């Protein structure tokens, strides 16, 4: 193979991924005058952001004037079990309102308050109605707004182009090798900086809300380039995924159903969440149905219903009810809004949920309850980044959105992802610009590029080998059974040995036919990243001997004080093996610790 025959495209910055974070980062780069490229595995506007339903959290105070950024920050830290990067949570809470208002300027039409302002809804873990939303299709509104805006900014959008690996020059980013799905041909992007916005790795599990794209590509590529990964043990199982029929098991049911007054019931008809209120949230959660009902009716003195506790708490509660024999027929819980709100209200506020259940499960949610259960939804962990610039530990590589770590700590609050991708997408663009202006284009090492391409074509060139779909299913079963919602040392160790076995299958995997638009071959390539992701999650989960947020150990119940003193960091050792260390956490800045541990009333008083 002559490397000179490979197509080469030059950009100052290449953004990998075109979900909300990627497009927002690309817009920033282009507006700052950089020659900006963006690649995406799918067509523009189809990324997982479209699945975000509930809204974007931003303390604008349009519905409840008591809200302010400090309370949003406090909620985020408490939701993250205080393991968040303090500075990231601060930047996020401070900047989210401007990012949401900016979207409105770019064309987003959010639902309105009676005064004509952007309406905000209640959501799990948020003290006040805070989520700017459009019915239950907020993600679609946000990605379409970004998409429609970005096409006028001179960004070179390369659709259906998948990244394979970074190219380095003396340890810094010089480019990236990718391939076009349509032709199966390779392309080298020569760039000074690369921003990863590749999302999570939910496809490593059987029951997930994620689509085929979410194979941890950014994590895999960053890891192989020497970057550090962080907090991978924290995987969010969204409490309400669809349970039936089997083909849609895991598909997301928005938390907005509970935000709009929906309740969770077991097979005895009990609102079981009252039994699962953690001490930390007891003071701010209703402990009787009567009080919860008053809150739903708008009584500002009533405390929040326990159905709106953070996702980790609700997911574990559903699992417990099922284990103790109080589950729904397909092994979940009942989510009931039919008996609580009029049909017209449900159709107006939750139109896509109505549609989704009607068409896919033949359930009319205005008449009957939904069956729901935990589904792997989101990675709190990811590539380690600097809080202000989103720079990773590899010079020239930046990361934002779900593939980066730190903002959400041990558990993400619903609504904090759409705002995260806006805030940190922009900051990653600025970070990349500041980096790019001081560096020259690195040299492309032909040997590196050739090796990446050889590795990618290997599955097509083999005479025989395992089917990539079978290998993927094998890995998914392993992660589902052994690295699920509740974990133990014995199961995690078994998972790690299974992962080693599956690695050998991946080395031998065989894809049939030609490279042109070949999903089997594409799946074979994705396995290289999925396996890094799976191993990182399992290793980190084994190392953290406590239960915190999205990481629950049956052999180490409850939070341990020691757990707050470190973050789990993973990277590649000189021999190419994954190594783990516990990095001590810095003492939190005093001004932020004061807010995070403040009484809610003291923070409310700080508003005008």
By CB under 8 A, tell whether 447 contacts other proteins.
no
Which residue is associated with the tokens 């730190």? 406
Helix, strand, coil % over all residues of the chain, rounded to 5 = 40, 20, 40
Residue 252 CA to residue 606 CA, distance in Å, equals 37
In the set 76, 266, 356, 535, which binds other proteins (CB under 8 A)? Answer: 356
Instruction: Give the binding-site size for other proteins (rule: CB under 8 A).
Output: 70
To the nearest whole angstrom, how small is the minimum distance from the Cβ of residue 501 to other proteins? 21
By CB under 8 A, tell whether 246 contacts other proteins.
yes
Q: What number of helices (H) and strands (E) belong to the chain?
A: 18, 20
179: enclosing H helix or E strand: strand 172-180
CA neighbours closer than 13 Å in the CB half-sphere of residue 55: 31
In the set 101, 271, 294, 320, which binds other proteins (CB under 8 A)? Answer: 101
375: enclosing H helix or E strand: strand 370-379
Cβ atoms within 10 Å of 340's Cβ, excluding its own: 15
By CB under 8 A, tell whether 379 contacts other proteins.
no
- Of the two residues 192 and 203, which places its CB atom closer to other proteins in the complex? 203
Q: Is 585 a catalytic residue?
A: no
In the set 2, 105, 290, 463, which binds other proteins (CB under 8 A)? Answer: 105
To the nearest whole angstrom, how small is the minimum distance from the Cβ of residue 321 to other proteins? 24
Which residue is associated with the tokens 């757990």? 563
Cα→Cα distances 409→264, 315, 512, Å: 26, 17, 42
By CB under 8 A, tell whether 134 contacts other proteins.
yes
Choosing from 78, 158, 258, 551, which is the catalytic residue?
258
By CB under 8 A, tell whether 608 contacts other proteins.
no
Q: Is 127 a catalytic residue?
A: no
To the nearest whole angstrom, how small is the minimum distance from the Cβ of residue 225 to other proteins? 27
In the set 47, 96, 188, 479, which binds other proteins (CB under 8 A)? Answer: 47
Longest dimension (CA), the chain: 74
To the nearest whole angstrom, how small is the minimum distance from the Cβ of residue 466 to other proteins? 12
Torsion of CA 313, 317, 318, 319, to 10 degrees: 100
By CB under 8 A, tell whether 43 contacts other proteins.
yes
Instruction: Give φ, ψ of 62 to 5 degrees.
Output: -70, -30
By CB under 8 A, tell whether 585 contacts other proteins.
no
Decide: helix, strand or coil at residue 316.
Answer: helix
Which residues is 167 bridged to in the sheet?
Answer: 175
In the set 367, 437, 512, 582, which binds other proteins (CB under 8 A)? Answer: 512
In the set 107, 329, 558, 589, which binds other proteins (CB under 8 A)? Answer: 107
Residue 414 CA to residue 138 CA, distance in Å, equals 12
By CB under 8 A, tell whether 343 contacts other proteins.
no
By CB under 8 A, tell whether 247 contacts other proteins.
yes
Choosing from 11, 238, 412, 433, which is the catalytic residue?
238
By CB under 8 A, tell whether 431 contacts other proteins.
no
Residue 69 CA to residue 95 CA, distance in Å, equals 9
Cβ atoms within 10 Å of 58's Cβ, excluding its own: 31
Estimate the crossing angle of helix 468-482 against helix 489-508, to 10 degrees: 170
Binding mask 149-188 for other proteins (x = CB under 8 A): x-xx------x----------------------x------
Burial of 30 by CB count in 10 Å (0-12 exposed, 13-18 middle, 19+ buried)?
Answer: buried
In the set 340, 347, 355, 462, which binds other proteins (CB under 8 A)? Answer: 355
- Of the two residues 98 and 507, which places its CB atom closer to other proteins in the complex? 98
By CB under 8 A, tell whether 597 contacts other proteins.
no
CA neighbours closer than 13 Å in the CB half-sphere of residue 99: 31
CB of 313 closer than 8 Å to CB of 280:
no
Binding mask 181-200 for other proteins (x = CB under 8 A): -x------------------
**Could you list the residues that contact other proteins (CB under 8 A)?**
42-48, 50-51, 62, 101, 104-107, 109-112, 114-119, 134-135, 137, 140-141, 144, 148-149, 151-152, 159, 182, 211-213, 244-248, 251-252, 351-352, 355-356, 359-362, 467-470, 511-514, 516-521, 523
Catalytic residue list: 238, 258
């Amino acid at each position: 193979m002559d490397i000179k025959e490979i197509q080469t495209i030059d950009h100052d910055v290449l953004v990998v991924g075109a979900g909300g974070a990627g497009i927002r980062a690309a817009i920033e780069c282009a507006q700052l005058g950089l020659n900006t490229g963006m690649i995406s595995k799918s067509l523009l506007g189809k990324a997982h952001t479209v699945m975000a339903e509930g809204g974007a959290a931003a303390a604008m105070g349009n519905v409840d004037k008591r809200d302010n950024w400090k309370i949003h920050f406090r909620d985020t830290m408490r939701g993250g079990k205080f393991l968040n990067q303090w500075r990231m949570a601060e930047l996020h809470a401070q900047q989210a309102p401007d990012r949401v208002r900016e979207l409105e300027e770019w064309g987003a039409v959010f639902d309105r308050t009676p005064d004509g302002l952007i309406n905000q809804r209640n959501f799990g873990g948020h003290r006040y109605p805070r989520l700017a939303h459009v019915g239950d299709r907020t993600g679609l509104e946000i990605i379409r707004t970004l998409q429609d805006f970005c096409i006028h900014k001179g960004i070179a959008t390369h659709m259906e182009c998948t990244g394979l690996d970074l190219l380095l020059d003396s340890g810094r980013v010089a480019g990236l090798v990718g391939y076009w799905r349509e032709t199966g041909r390779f392309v080298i992007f020569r760039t000074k900086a690369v921003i990863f916005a590749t999302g999570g790795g939910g496809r490593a599990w059987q029951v997930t809300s994620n689509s085929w794209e979410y194979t941890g590509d950014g994590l895999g590529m960053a890891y192989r380039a020497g970057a550090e990964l962080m907090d991978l043990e924290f995987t969010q199982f969204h409490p309400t995924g669809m349970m039936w029929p089997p083909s849609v098991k895991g598909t997301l049911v928005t938390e907005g159903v509970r935000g709009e007054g929906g309740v969770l019931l077991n097979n005895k008809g009990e609102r079981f969440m009252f039994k699962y209120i953690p001490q930390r949230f007891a003071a701010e959660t209703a402990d009787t149905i009567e009080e919860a009902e008053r809150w739903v009716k708008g009584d500002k003195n009533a405390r929040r219903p326990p159905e709106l506790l953070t996702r980790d708490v609700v997911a574990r509660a559903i699992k417990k009810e099922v284990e103790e024999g109080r589950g729904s027929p397909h092994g979940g819980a009942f989510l009931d809004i039919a008996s609580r709100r009029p049909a017209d209200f449900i159709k107006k506020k939750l139109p896509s949920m109505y549609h989704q259940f009607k068409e896919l499960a033949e359930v009319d949610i205005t008449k009957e309850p939904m069956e729901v259960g935990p589904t792997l939804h989101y990675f709190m962990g990811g590539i380690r980044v600097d809080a202000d610039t989103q720079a990773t530990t590899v010079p020239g590589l930046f990361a934002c959105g779900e593939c980066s770590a730190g903002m959400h700590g041990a558990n993400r609050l619903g609504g904090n992802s759409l705002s995260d991708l806006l805030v940190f997408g922009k900051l990653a663009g600025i970070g990349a610009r500041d980096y790019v202006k001081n560096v020259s284009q690195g040299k492309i090492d032909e040997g590196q590029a050739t090796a990446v391409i050889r590795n990618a074509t290997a599955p097509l060139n083999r005479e025989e080998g395992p089917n990539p779909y079978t290998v993927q299913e094998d890995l998914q079963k392993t992660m589902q059974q052994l690295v699920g919602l509740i974990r133990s040392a014995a199961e995690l160790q078994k998972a790690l040995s299974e992962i080693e076995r599956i690695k050998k299958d991946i080395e031998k995997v065989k894809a049939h036919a030609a490279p042109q638009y070949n999903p089997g071959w594409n799946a074979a390539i994705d396995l290289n990243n999925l396996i890094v992701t799976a191993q990182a999650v399992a290793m980190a989960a084994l190392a953290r001997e406590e239960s915190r947020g999205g990481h629950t150990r049956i052999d180490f119940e409850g939070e341990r004080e020691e757990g707050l003193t470190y973050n789990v960091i993973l990277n590649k050792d000189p021999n190419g093996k994954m190594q783990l260390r516990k990095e001590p956490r810095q003492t939190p800045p005093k001004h932020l610790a004061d807010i995070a541990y403040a009484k809610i009333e003291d923070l409310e008083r700080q508003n005008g």
